[in-house]
């Protein structure tokens, strides 16, 4: 997806979140807790994982934006997404990855608990939005296990991509459940 403004990324992420919530609202308890063969996680586990990753992403973005602000780095208002990030985004869509252990779900959270965590993270992303729009992020990066060193803009774009990836995973689980 081509992003030109922070608004574009926030709007895209909001659409993905709406899609996730809409999908989850249609599920039965049996579908949420089903553990079909060939799948490591239940739907509840997937949503818990998304919440954990979102919390990490907002922390990373906050730190990167604070560093850029402290350095006096000013934005020209445009979003800067590297060609390498875009290339990796295409590459990742075709492969299955193993999540790092620190974002493996506990298996103890309900969908409602995970959605509440996601709502809290959404609020935190809203709080730092003015920094996304005002500070220059190009020189400030944090490593991702697959994408390598990426900026706050790229982390923000990755947020929606990560969630969309797991929406597809949820749909695959549901297809197996029947």
Boundaries of every domain in the chain: 6-177
In percent, how much of the chain has pLDDT > 90? Answer: 86
Give yes or no for residue 28 having a pLDDT over 90.
yes
Fold of 6-177: 1.20.120
pLDDT at 94: 86
Q: Where are the alpha helices (DSSP H) in 26-151?
A: 29-33, 43-70, 83-92, 111-134
Asked whether residue 174 carries a pLDDT value surpassing 90, the answer given is yes
Burial class of residue 65, CB neighbours in 10 A (0-12, 13-18, 19+): buried
**pLDDT tens for each residue of 39-64:** 899 999 999 999 999 999 999 999 99
Residues 151-173, mean pLDDT to the nearest whole number: 96
pLDDT of residue 1: 62
Contacts 24+ apart (CB under 8 A), 31-38: 31/174, 31/177, 32/111, 34/173, 34/176, 34/177, 36/173, 36/176, 36/177, 37/176, 38/176
pLDDT at 146 over 90: yes
């Amino acid at each position: 997806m081509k992003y030109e403004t922070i608004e574009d990324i926030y709007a895209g992420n909001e659409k993905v979140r709406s899609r996730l919530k809409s999908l989850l609202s249609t599920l039965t308890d049996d579908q949420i807790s089903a553990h079909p063969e060939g799948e490591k996680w239940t739907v509840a586990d997937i949503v818990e994982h998304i919440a954990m990753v979102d919390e990490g992403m907002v922390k990373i973005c906050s730190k990167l934006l604070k560093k850029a602000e402290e350095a006096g780095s000013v934005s020209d208002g445009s979003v800067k997404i590297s060609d390498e990030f875009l290339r990796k985004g295409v590459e990742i869509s075709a492969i299955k990855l193993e999540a790092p252990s620190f974002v493996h779900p506990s298996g103890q959270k309900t969908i409602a608990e995970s959605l509440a965590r996601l709502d809290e993270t959404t609020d935190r992303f809203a709080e730092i939005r003015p920094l996304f729009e005002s500070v220059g992020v190009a020189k400030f990066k944090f490593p991702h296990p697959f994408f390598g060193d990426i900026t706050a803009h790229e982390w923000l774009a990755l947020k929606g991509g990560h969630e969309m990836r797991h929406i597809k995973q949820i749909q695959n689980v549901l297809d197996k459940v029947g």
